[in-house]
Structure 1
Amino acid sequence: MNLGSVFASTTTSTTTATSVGPYHYVPTEWICILFVVLYSISTVLHLGQALKYKLWWMIPTATFAGILEILGWSARLWSSRNPKLLTPYEMQIVGTIIAPTPLVAANFIILGRIIAQVGPQYSRLTPRKYTIIFCCFDIACLVVQAVGGASAAHSANTKSSASMGANIMLGGIAAQLFAIVVYVTMAVEILLHFKHNAPFRYVEQSRIFEKGSRTVSKKLRLMLCGMAFCTLCVFIRSVYRTVELADGWDGPVISTERYFDWLDGGLVTLAMYTLNFLHPGILLKEDDSTAHGSQQGTDEESSRT
């Protein structure tokens, strides 16, 4: 798509979709305001919860995701009043494309904490290695999407460059989809091995659940449900953005506002609030004896590997 041609159109016979600006529609003002408010509330809550429970990693993950969404939807609000301006369009491309990526990183870290609680022997990787590998991959996806978004936004007057930027973003989102699939597969594998008491290896002093009393607490079950729902929301959103970008800058998917509102804004909002209400600071809190036992097992397993 040549974004510059959107503004150069001189068609006067009818009012076409492209005449209103690069979105092919005028973003609805009240919807933009609604999402700015919703994301602002969730972001403030995430920051407060991170400080309260001293989960500092929730700041560069869930909190940062909220800040990016606020940026993206504030730019769309700007566009609702000035639909032909290119600057807010560029801002919302970058903001909304990369915002869910830090949220995915939060889920990766949460699963690592869950592994540490149920026992690292049920995972192919130690909690530390698991977190490092998946978070590094997630950061790579974030960088690729950011580069692609910036390239597409700032190359509006060059069709080939804008298309290249879209392809880079598409590659980043596709890689993120792959990471989510692997993440879900490993999570299911860990839970199945735990359920059937089939550890990959024996880890002395790390067996929190003794034989005959191997149960998952209600809090841990709630955290698993929250993590699953959050991941599902982000996954569906990523599928939508993949289809959207593959369809092209002028395609019917990217040109339909309600698809973006529901499948991007709505789903990421649900994912954000899920981690607010089912927060790891509450649901993954261990008592002193359990935390000590878990840490011993994790440390010993790490030393062996």
Structure 2
Amino acid sequence: MGAKKYLEIVLTQYGYSFENPPPQEVVDQLKIEYAEWMPAFCYEEPMSKYCEGVPSYYMYRIALAPNVLFVALFGLALIAFMATFAATRRGLAFNIAMGLGVLTEVVGYIGRIMSWTNQWEESGFMIQVCALTTAPAFLAAAIYLCIRQIVTAFEPKNSRIPPEWYTRIFIPCDLTSLVLQAVGGALASVAHHRNESTSTGDNVMLAGLAFQVFTMLLFMAVAADFGLRTYLRARGAHLPNLSLTLDNHPAMVCLRASRRFKAFLVALSLATVCIFARCIFRVIELSGGWTGPLMARQDLFIAFEGAMIATAVLALNVFHPAFCSKELLNPPPRREIVRRERSEQPAFKMVNFIIDENEVAAQDAAQDTTQDTTQRDPAQEV
């Protein structure tokens, strides 16, 4: 017997029906008395008025507008990252990391839209949990890829570790947190589907989030140390222009002095802080369990999960390193180099095809004069 048919029988016992619904106080009484199977009824009839206040996978009614907005924003960001790489052919690893993160965000908010249509359906809930939990790890990896080039742009001697070791340290740590979060989400999903305790999966997911917070905190500390050492070196040299105390290569001096590079540094810092704040929120939220107080705050979820990540993505979208620090990224493809070399060749071959009649007449006259001179008898000149 379906849950809807069962509720119809119960309403008949109270002297009511779906066509002749009971008053609200009777509905509230039914929700309490038959609380165990009401979620099954709401799974079949999610839009029924009898489902208002019935516990679901969420502790609030999902708002549709913010989730649609985030799908649109992250979808446009994904297109922008793809278009930027197609136009510049620079920053492949950065674009891949950002693209994966943004794509995962889109999938996560699609899962929430699925839950808006039916909050008692499991697939949409698990999609948004797994996707939105792991997506910022890809974005953090993109940020870690940038620090190596930034250290090179200033002066590697100011860093306590070589530039190449930034990616060797932080990328594996980020991948570790990503794997922990993914495994934890999978374990929780399987346990929930079997009506078993999800504590093991929750703890693994929480460990992944906590390790991500630790990694980002260490990253910010190392980056701040590099910035402080660079500043102290400049101040110790008593030079007002910071670039004069650093790498004096003309390309690096021009890059550091450019507004686009300074804007990129601000955008990268903003993105780092936003992702870090989001990770702290998710750790606190998940530590309280799926029925904790923060799980019931949709406004905080939108602010710290959606808005923070959207701000980080937008900042790196607008101030993309392919435009703002292109000198530090991979050179353009060989095809462009060959085209540029050909364009820089002297144009003397083209000039040979341009004939000036006056110039030709002058050359012929000069040639005749030379021939007359050589044909004269030297004895006659004496």
Q: TM-score, normalised by structure 2?
A: 0.66
Q: Which runs of 5+ in 1 are unaligned?
A: 1-7, 199-206, 289-305
Q: RCO higher in 1 or 2 (8 Å CA, sep ≥ 6)?
A: 1
Match of 2:186 in 1: 150
Determine the structure 1 residue equivalent to 2:59.
24
Residue type of the alignment partner of 1:226: A
Aligned to 1:42: 77
Q: Secondary structure at the match of 1:254?
A: helix
Q: What is the aligned counterpart of 1:169 among 169, 184, 205? A: 205
List, as ranges, runs of 4+ consecutive aligned residues in structure 1 with deviation greater than 6 Å.
none
Aligned equivalent of 2:342: none
| SS of structure 1 residue aligned to 2:233 | coil
Shift of 1:136: 1.0
Residue 18 of structure 2 corresponds to which residue in structure 1?
none
Q: CA deviation at 1:158?
A: 5.7
**Higher CA-based Rg:** 2
Residue pair 2:153, 2:328 contacting (<8 A) in 1 also = no
Q: Secondary structure at the match of 2:296?
A: coil
Matches within 5 A, 1:140-289: 140-157=176-193, 161-197=197-233, 208-209=247-248, 216-217=256-257, 218-286=259-327
Match for residue 101 of structure 2? 65
Instruction: Tell me how far apart the structure 1 counterparts of residues 105 and 36 of structure 2 sit (CA, whole Å).
Output: 31
Q: Deviation per CA, 1:182-234: give whole Å up to 9, x if none.
A: 11111111111112228xxxxxxxx5238xx9794233322221111001110
Q: Per-residue displacement from partner, 1:103-133 (whole Å, max 9, x unpaired)?
A: 0011111111101111211112222111121
State the identity %.
Answer: 26
Counterpart amino acid of residue 105 in structure 1: A
SS at structure 2 position matched to 1:286: helix
Partners of 2:87 and 2:174 in 1: CA distance: 26
Please list the CA deviations of residues 134-188 of structure 1 after superposition, one character each: whole Å capped at 9, or x if unmatched.
1111011111111111111221156764111111111111111111111111111
Structure 2 residue identity aligned to 1:170: L
Deviations 1:67-86 (A, max 9, x none): 00000000100110111100
- Give secondary structure in 1 for the equivalent of 2:294: coil
| 1:25 to partner: Cα distance | 2.1
SS in 1 for 2:198: helix
Q: Structure 1 counterpart of 2:208, which letter?
A: G
Q: Which moved more, 1:270-279 or 1:220-229?
A: 220-229
Q: Is the 8 A contact 1:20 1:83 kept in 2?
A: no
Q: CA deviation at 1:16?
A: 7.3
Match of 1:136 among 150, 172, 177: 172
How far did 1:11 drift? 6.3
Q: Deviations over 1:245-304 (max 9, x none)?
A: 00111111012211111110111011100100111111112289xxxxxxxxxxxxxxxx
After superposition, give the CA deviation of every residue in 1:50-99 in whole Å (9 maximum; x if it has no partner). Answer: 33232111233111101000000001001101111001111101000000
Deviation of 1:15 after TM superposition, in Å, equals: 6.5
Name the amino acid aligned to 1:9. Answer: E
Are the equivalent residues in 2 in contact too, given 1:50–1:58 (CA < 8 A)?
Answer: no
Question: What is the Cα-based RMSD across aligned positions, in Å?
Answer: 2.7
Change over 3 Å in CA distance of 1:176–1:52 after alignment to 2: same
**Does the Cα contact within 8 Å between 2:74 and 2:105 map onto a contact in 1?**
yes
Gapped regions of structure 2 (runs ≥ 5): 1-34, 40-49, 235-245, 330-382
